[in-house]
Structure 1
Amino acid sequence: MGTVFSFDVRGGDADAVAAALGAAVAGLHRADELFSTYRQDSEIARLARGELTLADCSPEVAEVLDLGARAERDSDGWFSPRYGGTLDPTGIVKGWAAERAARLIAAAGARGVSVNGGGDVQLLGAPEPHRPWRGGVSDPLRPGRLAAVVSAAGTEELAVATSGTAERGAHIVDPRTGRAAVSDLVAVTVVTPRLTWADCWATAAFARGSRDGLAWLESLPDVEGLLVTAGDEVLCTSGLAARLG
């Protein structure tokens, strides 16, 4: 998946949690083997070339493609599991894989789980009793500084994902044109319970641009967003303040 994953796991039976952590790491490696578009032998590459049918593929492939199709519908086509007309669900795979890893560890009895995949984070439970998970959102225009701090207070699960051009340049594609999205934004951060959707919605909102992207995020249930424009304007959904702290 071309990024680094880190884990912060608190509480639970040490042996059970260690076993689950090992399984979660193995699951991330398997996701890369299945979905990497850089590996000619990955199932997604072979499916795109017509060497496999969906029925020939592992169940995870059908699951991710179903999620990608749902994201495309729910975003009115602003998120797409294709790139340049070719099947490419990598825009959803990282969030899905990190969320799945976090839930696997939590199911083993961990009190609190944080899985960070390249800056996109799935939070479950809490690190300590009466102390919620908190995470910083980088300021895209001021490296080394934070634009906000998000708190998971009052919820058992929270995800934070950012899409933008600050670190990777113009890599977000406008699905309507197949070319780099022309946006007045430099970053969109989405806060919602599941990282699978946070990752997709941040990408779709960025491609839409500041005003349309903000209005669209505002329309989604249980989704908050922070958008930063190239002109250093910060736009927030109406409920984001409740998630800061």
Structure 2
Amino acid sequence: MIRRLLLALSFLVAAGCGSHGVDSIQWMSMGTIARVSFKGSASSFALPSMRSSRGDNRCLVESVRSVYEEVERRLSIWNSESEISRYTAIGGVSPEMRPCYEAAFELQRKSGGVFNPFWRGKGTGPDLGGIAKGFAVDLAAAKLLREGMCQGAGSCGVLLDLGGNLKVVSGEWRTGIRNPSGEMQAIVLTNGMACATSGEYERGKHIYDGRTGLAVTNDLVSVTVVHPSSAMIADGLSTTLFVLGREEGESFLKSCYPEAAAYWIVKQP
């Protein structure tokens, strides 16, 4: 239902990092590309033995991977044994996944159904695909911070990216949004900040209005949302704002999610 745009990334060297660069480890997860990027001293990125104060940086990556796999196991509508597939049969949700359900239902209410986790119709459970990836990123970032796994791992920064849903675990990073002419618009993200982009960069890919089930036709190429703390909220908002369009979307954002900011890429004449 939703097309997630993968952001083209460029990186801003944080203060104190000198000229040392960025290293990334990526894999497939939740149907898209997952990436953990590290920024710090050259010794932090001496593959294959990247070290942190808590051991191999690959342990950090495995910690992130395990979170993503758990979210997918519980929230995939394609798995008949998942928590969300059994939603209508048993009712209730697990405490671990509850924030994702609550955020989706809140966004549905505030948007008047533009964001609609029940788009599949009556008699079916919700589909949280519109915010699940952002939720997984938030959980993974919280786990890394809680377990102290970022101390020394990329001493100047760690960035999580799941299908274009970004969250800064530590450091300062710059993400680039490419417009139709190929130019890049830079956005700087610091500790805890998150962003997500929805768009229709590929022919035949569409975003649908949750109220009507119809594909959206407007003058937008993409919408990028930056949130001070939640990749999950940024994830859901980016699609919602794309459907609403710039004028209505800006009004909605100001009244319902004033802490967030949106960057709009408009189609060229």
Report TM bin, short chain.
0.7 to 0.9
Q: How far apart are residue 17 of structure 1 and its match?
A: 6.1
1:96 pairs with 2:135: yes
Rate the CA distance shift 1:28–1:146 in 2: closer, same or farther, 3 A.
farther
CA deviations over 1:169-220 (Å, ceiling 9, x no partner) = 4432212112222332121011112211111111110010122113333443
SS of match in other structure, 1:181: coil
Of 81, 97, 106 in structure 2, the residue corresponding to residue 70 of structure 1 is 106
CA contact (8 A) 2:103 2:233 kept: no
The separation in 1 between residues aligned to 2:56 and 2:117, in whole angstroms, is 35
**Distance in 1, Cα, partners of 2:74 & 2:118:** 16
In structure 2, how many angstroms separate the alpha carbons of the residues matched to 1:9 and 1:72?
35
Task: Please report how far the alpha carbon of residue 167 of structure 1 lies from its aligned counterpart in structure 2 after TM superposition.
Answer: 3.7
* 1:216 and 2:252 correspond: yes
Distance 1:160 1:169, change over 3 A: farther
Counterpart-to-counterpart distance in 1, 2:53 and 2:205:
44
Q: Are the counterparts in 1 of residues 116 and 211 from structure 2 also a CA contact under 8 Å?
A: no
User: 2-side partners of 1:82 and 1:169: how far apart?
Assistant: 23
User: Which structure has the greater CA radius of gyration?
Assistant: 2
Equivalent residue number for residue 52 of structure 1: 90
Q: SS where residue 186 of structure 1 aligns?
A: strand
- Contact kept? 2:170, 2:192, Cα under 8 Å: yes
CA contact (8 A) 1:134 1:150 kept: yes
Query: Match of 1:165, as an amino acid?
Result: E
Alpha-carbon distance in structure 1 between the residues aligned to 2:75 and 2:241? 24
CA shift at 1:91, angstroms?
Answer: 0.4
Q: Aligned-pair RMSD on alpha carbons? A: 2.4
Indicate whether 1:84 and 2:148 are aligned. no
Alpha-carbon separation, structure 2, partners of 1:82 and 1:171: 18
Aligned to 1:161: 196
TM-score (norm 1): 0.78
Q: Structure 1 unaligned runs (5+)?
A: 127-131, 233-245
What residue identity is the alignment partner of 2:242?
A: F
Structure 1 segments (4+ residues) deviating >4 Å:
16-20
Change (3 A) 1:100 1:84: same
2:79 matches 1:42 = no
Q: Which residue is 1:25 aligned to?
A: 65
Q: Percent identity?
A: 31
Distance verdict in 2 for CA 1:183–1:45, change over 3 Å: farther
The size of the alignment, in residue pairs, is 218
Please tell me whether residue 148 in structure 1 is matched to residue 177 in structure 2. no
Distance in 1 between the 2:202 and 2:74 partners? 26
Helix, strand or coil: the match of 1:43?
coil
